[in-house]
Structure 1
Amino acid sequence: MGIVVGQPIVASDFIDESEKDPTPANDEGRVPKLESTGKLSKEFLPPTADIQIFTASGTWTKPSTGTMALIKVWGGGGSGGAASWANRSAASGGAGGEYRVSLIPLYKLAATETVTVGLGGPAASSMSLNNTANGNVGGASSFGSHVTANGGNGGLGAGNSSGTVTANAAAGGVGGSNANIAFENVNGVSSSSASTSGTTPQASSGGDGGGVPGAEGGDGGAGVTAAGTLATGVAGSTPGGGGGGAAAGFVGAQAISGAGANGRVEIIVF
């Protein structure tokens, strides 16, 4: 296909896929490519690719073969806010953790690298009748000093009112860092605001980890509604989903928020 004036330029304008060797003896001519899902194209990965996935902090050891490392990092999700013990109170969900991807030449990495997996923000609970509680921030995840993805913020609580109250949204994780070739930087999704109106408090859902479809981030915990009852927030899913906010529809008990999900680190060497 040739270049058409006024039309978007695509890779096929410059690369004739039919000319490449379908079974190359080495990595010559290979071009890294992400699928629409955000995953590295399987046709690019050789069968000998070394894939290490960390769901908890640890130490990565460099494999003996390979030339490039694709580093994928998700920050932890923030937890939702907790509703107060007062009538008609609600809280917003926590925000999703950030997602970052870098492509780094293997020779630039040490024999071992420290991997930190950020924890999701713990569930929040109100400690007295008239107080709400904000959610907790998710932890940052990192691969050595090369790639860092920050966690999402905690949700906000609002309540102790017989009228209409709004709990503002929590902001998604931002501001991490990449080394070398930055493939993708995606902020965590912010949660939506929560509200109380009449006798039915409505807590908001948590934000998704990694921001957009294709970033492979976990989903935020779903929002809940409380009409004359308590509604505990729903936890976010891994990696990096924010926890849902809590809602309380009567006096005398507390509604606990959903916890944020832990982050994750993946290293693919080829």
Structure 2
Amino acid sequence: MIDIYIFADYLNKKQKLFLFFQTYTNDEIAVSKQLGISRRFARYLLKQAGHYDRVRRAQKEYANLDKQIQSLSSIFSKYAIDGLIQYKDAQNDSYTKFMKDVGIQDDQILQLYITYKFGGQKGAVFQLEEFLLGMIRLKCQSIKDLKNLVPQLRQKIQKENKYRKLYSYFFKVMSQGKNVIRFTEAITLWDSLLNEQFKEIIDFIQFCKAKPAEFQNTTKVSFDLWCQVWKFFETIGSDYTKFDENDAWPLLIYEYVQFKTK
């Protein structure tokens, strides 16, 4: 039988937690509207403000960032094509130029990590506010600062094992809320995100690329399949004795195991 006092205490704590998050959300909306910035930027400012008089402190924090924002906006404008740092075509590719200036044009993981830190919501594209907030969060005043930070970012990825977070993040970015991505997009991301994590991924990518063109062009990869691919290489790898056909693995994984063990 449930102790009525324990249950009442549980409800009280739950209500307080709800009110806390409700207040936090209201503050976030207020700061966003008052300053004309995204809720993501407002969330960053509120985090810096602490727990008391948060909205006013967040506004003050934003005012303190004015000079840095102006300086970073000027840097952004040097790269911007139609108001974005982006790959538009071979002649209009400010994204690659930006990554080259940072010194990581050949390092896909670091490119993905910086895109993640900037909060890029469309893959290899940065809006002005994403660029501003990313540079501010990384405490970088210039491209040179970001370039000098690269070795630390690489260590951070490895030390804190950020690969799985990047893996989930980029699926959500590429799917744009549809919860599926194209098979060809998945192959490219598997190669970029898992190459350093699982050595067996090379064989899996070759297996996927060997699929008929019609299959590759029409097949969609769901978030469930996306997660199951990570789980497979994390738990099975190349030791197929661990593979249980009675487990609910996706068809693509079954076919891959059959391909490797036939």
TM-score norm. by structure 1 comes to: 0.25
Which structure shows the higher helix fraction?
A: 2
Which structure shows the higher strand fraction?
A: 1
TM-score norm. by structure 2 comes to: 0.26
